[in-house]
Amino acid sequence: MDTFHKKFLWGGAISNVQAEGAYRTDGKGLNVYDTFEVQKEKGQKNINKVDIASNHYYQFKEDIELMNEMGFKACRFSIVWSRIYPNGTEEGPNEMGLDYYERMINNFLEKGIEPVVSLVHFDMPDHLSKKYNGFYSREVVDFFANHVGSVVKRFSSKVKYWITYNEMNTAPYWPKLVAGANVPDNFSQEEFYSTLVHNTQLAHAKAVLIIKKWIPDAKVSGMINFTHVHPKTSEPKDIEAAHIINNYMSFLTFDIMTTGRYPRYYKNFLALRNIEISDSKGFEIIQEASRKLDFLSVSYYQTQVISGPDFKNQLEFENSVIFNPHLEVSKYTKSTDWGWAIDPKGFKMALEALSERYNMSIFIVENGIGLEEKVDELGQIIDDKRIYYYKNHIKAMQDAIQYEGVQILGYLAWAPFDFLSSHKEMRKRYGFIYIDSENVTGDKLKRIPKKSFYWYKNLIETNGEIL
C-alpha cells in the first residue's frame, strides 16, 4: 500500500510579507510586519530590511521556476492585505496589487502548481492597527471582509484552496503581528483574550462564507500553529497544566471553528470571570461557517513541556497556565540554535491528537527548520541538518497515516527559499534555496539551490518512497 495517495500535495509555503520586499511599490501601504518593532532574538545582530527581503516581488518567476524544478504540486503563499487595501479602509481595492497576484497565480497555474492562498499573514494594514487596534475591534473584521471579497472575486476561477487566517490561535499570544492589536490600558488579560478569540473567529467565518459564495467548490480551511505541549513530569499539576494549555493555546480555535459554538470548558472560563460576549448575529455566522469547513491546516515546528504552577486556587492556577505558561524544551529532545525542540515523534502525536479530536483531513501547511548557513568554498550549501529534519518529520507523518489512519491532504515545507523570519532575520534560514543577500547581480539577489533542494525533489518524484 502506498502511504501517500496519488494526489498528495507536496510543496512549500511562503509568507509573502517576509519575502517580497518592494514594500512601498505599486501602491502598497505599510503593514504590521513593516512597522513591528522586533525584540532581537538571542544572538541576532541586525534587523534585516523588509524593503528588500528576498526580492521575491521582482523575482517570483525565477522562484516559481525553481519550485517547479523540485516538482512542487502546491505552493501556499499570502496575498498581502496592505497591497490590496493600503490603509485598509479604502472604498475599493488597489488594482495594481490584484494585478500583481494575478500574474503570480497565472505563473503557478502554467507550471501546474496548485496555488493555496492565505488571506492574512502578518500583513494587516498598519493604519487598521493604529487607528482601530486591529482585530480587537469589530470594524476591522468588516474591513477584512472587504479585502477577502476583492481577492476572492478576482481569483474565483483560479484558486481552489484557501486558508483564511495564518496561525489564528496565536492572536492573543502574539497580538501585534498576528492580529494588529495591543492590550488596551486597564484591560484584563482575560477580556483581551476573549475579545480576540471572538473577533478572529468572526473574521475567519466571514471569510469562509465569502469564499463559498463565490466559489462553491472551493476547499477552505482555518489554520493554527500546533505546538503540542506535554507535561514536564508525571506530577499531576504538570499533567493538568498541559491539558489546560493545549485547550486554550491550540484546540480552542478548532473547537469553535468545527462546531460553530464555544465548547463547554470555554463557556465556563467566561462565566467564572464574568465575561459576556453578546453577539448573536456573529454566532450565527460562526455557526454557518463551521458547516462549510473542508479541512484543517496546521503549522508544526516543535513540542514543548510545561510545569504547573503552585497555586492552590483553581482560577489562579488556570490564569497562570493560560496567560503566563512556564514552557520549556523537554530534556529528551534536541533543539535548534533558536531553542525550538526537534521532535518528530511529537509531530506524529500532534497529528494523531488532531485527527482524533476532529476527524477531518489535515493539511500540513508549514514545517521546517531554521538554521544559520553559509556558502562553502565550493559555492555550495550542504544542509544535511535540514535533510535529516525533513526525513524524520516526513517519516513521522507517514507513520501517522499508516498506523493511525490520519488523513493528510498534503505537506508544504517551510520554506522553498530563504526569507526573513518573523523577527526580520535573514540569518535564520529555512529554504531549500539560498538567497545570497550580499551578492547582487544587476538588481537581483542570487539564488543557489542547497543540497536539500535535490533531496526534496527526489522525495516528491518518488512520492515519498526514498524514505
Count of residues interacting with ligand BG6 (CB under 6 A): 12
Q: Which of 15, 129, 200, 319 binds ligand BG6 (CB under 6 A)?
A: 15
- Which among 208-216, 400-408, 416-424, 441-449 is the span making contact with ligand BG6, rule CB under 6 A? 416-424
Q: From residue 328 to residue 367, what is the string marking binding to ligand BG6 with x (rule CB under 6 A)?
A: --------------------------------------x-
Q: Which is nearer to ligand BG6, 55 or 137 (CB)?
A: 55
Q: How far is the CB of 293 from ligand BG6 (least distance, A)?
A: 20
Q: Looking at 114, 366, 373, 425, which residue is catalytic? A: 366
User: Could you say whether residue 463 binds ligand BG6 (CB under 6 A)?
Assistant: no
Return the SS3 of 402: helix
Is residue 352 a contact partner of residue 404, using CB atoms and an 8 Å limit? yes
Nearer to ligand BG6, 351 or 401 (CB): 351
Residues 418-457 interacting with ligand BG6 (rule: CB under 6 A): 421-423, 428
**Which residue lies nearest ligand BG6, judged by its C-beta?**
421
Distance separating alpha carbons of residues 83 and 94, to the nearest angstrom: 7
Looking at the DSSP bridge assignments, the partners of residue 363 are: 297, 410
Query: Which range binds ligand BG6 by CB under 6 A, 1-9, 256-264, 399-407, 415-423?
Result: 415-423
d(CA 302, CA 367): 9
Smallest gap, in angstroms, from Cβ of residue 18 to ligand BG6? 6
Contact 413, 407 (CB under 8 A): no
Q: CA 328: distance to chain centroid?
A: 21
Say whether residue 166 binds ligand BG6 (CB under 6 A): yes
Catalytic residue list contains 110 = no
Please report how close the Cβ of residue 122 comes to ligand BG6 at its closest, in angstroms.
Answer: 6
Q: Are the beta carbons of 261 and 287 closer than 8 angstroms? A: yes
Distance of CA 380 to the CA centre of its chain: 30
Find out whether 13 and 414 touch, Cβ atoms under 8 Å: yes
Greatest alpha-carbon span in the chain? 65
Paired with 334 in beta bridges are: 342
State how far the Cα of 149 lies from the Cα of 58, in Å rounded to an integer.
26
Query: Is residue 225 within the footprint of ligand BG6 (CB under 6 A)?
Result: yes
* Residue number, 78 or 146, with CB nearest to ligand BG6: 78
Q: If we measure between CA atoms, which residue out of 109, 100, 118 comes closest to residue 73?
A: 109
Q: How far apart are CA 47 and CA 222, in angstroms?
A: 31
Place of cell 473584521: 141
Residue with cell 497591497: 83
Identify the active-site residue in 20, 167, 373, 425.
167
| Shortest Å, Cβ 27 to ligand BG6 | 24
Residue 286 vs 371, nearer CB to ligand BG6: 371
Residue 299 sits in the site that holds ligand BG6 (CB under 6 A): yes
**Between residues 67 and 168, which has the closer beta carbon with respect to ligand BG6?**
168
According to DSSP, the β-strands at 295-299 and 327-328 are unpaired
Tell me, yes or no, if 465 is annotated catalytic: no
Catalytic residues: 167, 366
Binding residues for ligand BG6, rule: CB under 6 A, are 15, 18, 166-167, 225, 299, 366, 370, 421-423, 428
